[in-house]
Amino acid sequence: MRAILVVNPQATSTTAGGRDVLAHALASQVKLDVVETDYRGHALAVARAAARDGFDLVVAHGGDGTVNEVVNGLLADADPAKMTEGPMLGVVPGGSANVFARALGISPDPVEATHQLLYALEHDDSRRIGLGLADGHWFTFNAGLGWDADVVGKVAKRRGKQTSAALYLRAAVGSYFRPPLGRPPLTIQLPGEQEPAEALTAFVSNTDPWTYLGNRAVHLNSGCSFEAGLGLFALNGMGLPTVFRHVRQALLTESNQRGRRLLRHDDLAKIRIDAAEPVHFQVDGDLVGQRTEVEFVSVPDALTVVVSPPDL
């Protein structure tokens, strides 16, 4: 098996020693190349080249941004009719949140995650998962327009600081009281619905939990999974009582979110969102830019991930 290990040395919990241990362990089972990224988009370029060159496995060692780049590289030239023919993905978390890895049952600890990956390779364990596609960008766990994207943008401006739950909370509060682009109304069109819905912020999930605050999972669409369609969580009111109500529900284990200001669906094939004015747009926790329209599409069985069943 030919494999490439893509390491982001700037990720929160990646170290040179950890990289060497991981590389040595993987090299005992596969023919391995190792690449350290040194610019934005580098992981995408490496994964795309690996797919073109017929590699069997690409392992991402970094945060959710690194994983997202690798996924977008693996699928950059994919034929929709031959999605099963590309390289498999392996993940050893090295970031602060590691939402995608945790949703798959992969330990956030890099050493334990390495053991899990080696076990899965030894036992030929893997899992096909669905992904989301939005405006040409693949996403593994979520994307959004409005408040959450504003938060991502605010955090991105502080790249010199290590990301943490506290930093995201401060950014969330600041973006709530001082939204950088205001709160232009969003129009949401769903399959089979004649009349569009209105909202002020919208989260689109490919799995649940949607994110983490430290070790606490944040649930918006508890019925959403990698085997189903996309989840939509949109609010048409942003008053403090509404926000507090849904934040509280989101922090409850397996919360079933409800509310009169809430538009929620857990299994959608397609979602179209239009904004009256440009709003921030984020994918897997990275700010993509500003948009006035985005179509989100669920793509079943898009990717093979090397991972063992969660009970092993």
Q: Which fold has domain 2-125?
A: Rossmann fold (3.40.50)
Measure the CA–CA gap between 139 and 68, rounded to whole angstroms. 7
Using CA atoms, how far apart are residues 232 and 243, in angstroms rounded to an integer?
16
- 256 phi-psi bin (left φ>0, alpha ψ -120 to 50, beta other): beta
Give the domain 139-300 fold. Tumour Suppressor Smad4 (2.60.200)
Instruction: Give dist(CA 131, CA 138) in Å, integer.
Output: 7
End-to-end alpha carbon distance in the chain: 23
Q: Which two tokens stand for residue 186?
A: 């969003």
In the predicted model, residues of the chain with pLDDT beneath 50 are 161
Tell me the pTM. Answer: 0.92
Q: Please, where in the chain does CATH 3.40.50.10330 lie?
A: 2-125
How does pLDDT run across 158-203, given as a tens digit for each residue? Answer: 655 466 677 888 888 999 999 999 999 999 999 988 899 999 999 9
Q: What are phi and psi of 276, to 5 degrees?
A: -65, -30
Say whether 150 sits in a helix, a strand or coil. helix
> CATH 2.60.200.40 region(s) of the chain?
139-300
Please state the φ and ψ torsions of residue 86, each to the nearest 5 degrees. -85, 180
CA gap 244, 71 in Å, rounded: 34
Distance, in Å, from the CA atom of 96 to the CA atom of 70, rounded to the nearest integer, reads 18
Contact 225, 300 (CB under 8 A): no
Helix (H) or strand (E) holding 291: strand 286-305
Cβ within 8 Å of residue 104, ≥6 positions away? 91, 127, 129, 226, 305, 307
- Please report the pLDDT score of residue 146 as a whole number: 95
The letter for the amino acid at 194 is Q
Say what the pLDDT of residue 254 is: 65
In the prediction, which pLDDT does 162 show? 60
Which pLDDT belongs to residue 163? 65
Amino acid at 65: G
